[in-house]
């Protein structure tokens, strides 16, 4: 059972939006630290991705911290609890994280990115591998759905919400490090190498609060927030490309959160069925399905299998409201 002071502190912290930091390992027993006590923590070195060696009150310990933090940086922390684990929250850095000028520059950049023309948010698979590695086995539709969801989740489009999940303990550091926002320093091997690049390049990038490699992704995030739609393209299994579009009804347009309408469209060129377009609309617990095929024999085949598809959806708790198969 958790001590009451820890639970109260964590509840207060969760409402305030400040990250919870747990001391995972220490080089020697920690001297008595009291909840509410404020301390300065100095980053000594990075032990592994997301894990840092930190000196607090003259004592060395290891902590998992969000983002990339350079050695020597000083953070102001407050003790939340000393039992069962030593737990802190980060209050501030001795060096301001953002000045008014930096905030203004970021605002201008985001405004400019949002104004740039973008017909749709297009997320492309960057792994170079198929989502479903079949090895000659039939495709498992349930496992393929999970793999597609994972690919979309790790695209970087939802990174900030995933950071919030990480703070709440709902997402691991390893999961967070997979996303593109955390790949830049790995690709460059170290922040020191980045800072050692030619001076001219440093001047070109110095005024931007966002790494140039991420500008396109940030623009896609802004447009997704505005349009409530995105498109993913990639290989679903070896040799099979797919374009997958998702669109959600804005929350303010729905009477109740569970009444929001969602639609998804898929385009594939299948070896036997030919060009196929599928559109599913999910609303109030039911699905409306439209299938379009370029080949007449494919249309007939799909029509013959519609009853079985309806039964499969019903068994999954998703009634098929209506369905139609058309020839394009």
Question: For the residues 24-49, what does the mean pLDDT come to?
Answer: 77
Task: For residue range 144-202, list pLDDT tens digits in order.
Answer: 888 899 888 988 889 888 988 888 888 888 888 888 888 775 555 444 443 444 333 33
Tell me which residue has tokens 């000659």.
136
Residue 260 tokens, joined: 């929001």
* CB-CB contact of 65 with 97 (8 Å): no
Question: pLDDT of 134-144, one tens digit each?
Answer: 777 777 888 88
Task: Report the chain's terminal Cα–Cα distance, integer Å.
Answer: 62
pTM (predicted TM-score):
0.57
Dist. CA 275–CA 298, nearest whole Å: 9
Confidence at residue 280, expressed as pLDDT on a 0 to 100 scale: 94
Give one word for 14, left, alpha or beta, with left for phi > 0 and alpha for psi -120 to 50: alpha
At residue 145, φ and ψ (nearest 5 deg) are -60, -40
What sign has the CA pseudo-torsion 152, 153, 158, 159?
A: negative
Q: Where along the chain do its domains lie?
A: 4-93
Residue 152 to residue 169: CA distance in whole angstroms: 21
Confidence of residue 57 (pLDDT cuts 50, 70, 90): confident
**Residue 300 contacts residue 293 (beta carbons within 8 Å):** no
| Residues 287 and 280: beta-carbon distance below 8 Å | yes
Nearest residue to 79 via CA among 164, 22, 4, 25: 22
* Average of per-residue pLDDT values in the chain: 76
Cβ neighbours for 153, distance < 8 A, ≥ 6 positions apart: 162
- What kind of fold does domain 4-93 have according to CATH? OB fold (Dihydrolipoamide Acetyltransferase, E2P) (2.40.50)
Lowest mean pLDDT among 20-34, 240-254, 305-319: 20-34
Closest CA to 276 of 247, 249, 305: 305
Which uninterrupted H or E stretch holds 84?
Answer: none
Quick check: helix, strand or coil at residue 188? coil
CA–CA separation, 160 and 214 (whole Å):
14
Residue 173: what pLDDT? 87
Contacts 24+ apart (CB under 8 A), 254-263: 258/284, 259/283, 259/284
Half-sphere exposure of 45 (CA within 13 A, CB side): 3
pLDDT for 6 equals: 42
């Amino acid at each position: 059972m958790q001590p009451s002071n820890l639970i109260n502190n964590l509840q207060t912290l969760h409402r305030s939006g400040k990250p919870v930091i747990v001391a995972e390992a220490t080089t020697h027993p920690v001297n008595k630290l009291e909840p509410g006590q404020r301390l300065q923590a100095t980053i000594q070195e990075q032990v592994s991705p997301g894990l840092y060696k930190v000196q607090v009150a003259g004592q060395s310990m290891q902590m998992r911290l969000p983002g990339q933090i350079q050695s020597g940086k000083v953070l102001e922390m407050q003790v939340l609890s000393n039992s069962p684990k030593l737990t802190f929250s980060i209050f501030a850095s001795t060096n301001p994280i953002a000045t008014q000028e930096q905030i203004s520059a970021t605002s201008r950049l985001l405004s400019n990115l949002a104004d740039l023309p973008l017909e749709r948010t297009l997320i492309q698979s960057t792994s170079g591998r198929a989502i479903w590695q079949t090895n000659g086995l039939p495709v498992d539709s349930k496992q393929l759905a999970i793999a597609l969801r994972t690919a979309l989740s790790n695209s970087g489009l939802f990174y900030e919400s995933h950071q919030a999940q990480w703070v709440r303990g709902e997402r691991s550091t390893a999961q967070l490090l997979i996303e593109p926002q955390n790949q830049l320093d790995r690709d460059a091997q170290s922040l020191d190498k980045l800072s050692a690049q030619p001076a001219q390049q440093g001047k070109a990038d110095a005024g931007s609060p966002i790494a140039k490699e991420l500008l396109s992704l940030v623009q896609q995030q802004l447009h997704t927030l505005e349009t409530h739609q995105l498109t993913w393209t990639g290989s679903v299994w070896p040799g099979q490309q797919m374009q997958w579009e998702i669109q959600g009804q804005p929350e303010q347009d729905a009477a109740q959160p569970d009444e929001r309408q969602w639609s998804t469209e898929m385009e594939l060129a299948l070896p036997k069925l030919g060009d196929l377009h599928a559109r599913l609309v999910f609303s109030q617990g039911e699905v409306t399905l439209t299938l379009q095929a370029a080949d007449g024999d494919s249309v007939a085949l799909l029509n013959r299998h519609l009853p079985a598809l309806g039964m499969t959806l019903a068994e999954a708790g998703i009634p098929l409201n209506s369905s139609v198969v058309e020839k394009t």
